[in-house]
Chains A and B, each alone.
Chain A
């Protein structure tokens, strides 16, 4: 149980375009979802926390207008990178938490490359 999926696993987009990444909890209701970013050979940095039906809470330094997060249902959160630039190229990982657990369940990640 507690499986989280991400789609797509890899995406390449041109500079200036937008790209959407989906994060789904497959077998539980995710009251909270988290979005992390990981640069090559570096640690994970939390970008934002989203609760179902509420606006996301962004970490300091993360541009909310550039990284749009929507958590419209208890099983789906989306991260949209708007007007992507090469420096947005990174590995994006989501995680989901259920109301009954202290634990987060991580998705497999999405590799974004902006050309």
Chain B
């Protein structure tokens, strides 16, 4: 069974500081990995995804993530956080089936940005 762990429920960073959100996954083969962001009362916005190839993935809004197979991790990073980045962030894993498959989400990390 696939699973995702986001160990940090809530993180607070100052605007301009760097950010790293942790994500560990469990999957029997090479997974498809995703990071989504959700603002209150809104749907999900895809930040970035990993399917194969280069393990360092660039996304929107200046985010990047690195797939580390040996650590079963897919941590999200941003070198300088903006106040507008405050939101809930979800890591998700999907099956490597060749088409869209069901996603298993982590419990999410709520990011608070202080000015």
Residues of A at the B interface (CB closer than 8 Å) are 6, 31-32, 34, 42-46, 49, 91, 93, 95-99, 101-104, 106-109, 111
Assembly CA distance A101 to B49 (angstroms): 12
Is B115 an interface position by the 8 A CB rule?
Answer: no
Beyond the given A43-B90, A106-B45, could you list 19 further A-B residue pairs with CB under 8 A, ordered by the A residue number? A6-B43, A31-B99, A32-B99, A34-B100, A34-B103, A42-B107, A43-B105, A43-B107, A44-B105, A46-B104, A96-B100, A102-B94, A102-B98, A102-B100, A102-B101, A103-B49, A107-B43, A108-B42, A111-B41
**CB-based nearest B residue for A32:** B100
Q: Give Cα A44 to B13, complex, Å.
A: 25
Residues of A contacting B63 in the complex (Cβ-Cβ under 8 angstroms) = none
Which residues of the other chain, A, contact B102 by a CB distance below 8 angstroms?
A: 34, 46, 49
Q: Are A102 and B51 in contact (CB under 8 A)?
A: yes
Instruction: With a 10 A CB-CB cut-off, give which of B41, B100, B101 has the most chain A CB atoms.
Output: B100
Main secondary structure of the interface of A (DSSP, over half): strand
Are A104 and B103 in contact (CB-based, < 8 A)?
yes
Would A102 and B107 count as touching, CB distance under 8 A?
no
Closest to B6 in A: A43
Known: A42-B107, A43-B108, A44-B90. A98 touches B100 (CB 8 A): yes
Assembled-state Cα–Cα distance A99/B98 (Å):
9
Question: Which positions in B face A, CB cutoff 8 Å?
Answer: 32, 36, 41-46, 49, 51, 90, 94, 98-108
Q: How far is the CA of A31 from the CA of B46 in the complex (A)?
A: 20
By a CB distance below 8 angstroms, the chain A residues around B100 are: 32, 34, 95-98, 101-104
Let me know if A109 and B43 touch, CB within 8 A.
yes
Interchain nearest-CB distance for B41 vs A (Å): 7
Please give me the 4 A-B residue pairs with the lowest Cβ-Cβ distance, nearest first: A97-B100, A108-B43, A106-B44, A109-B43
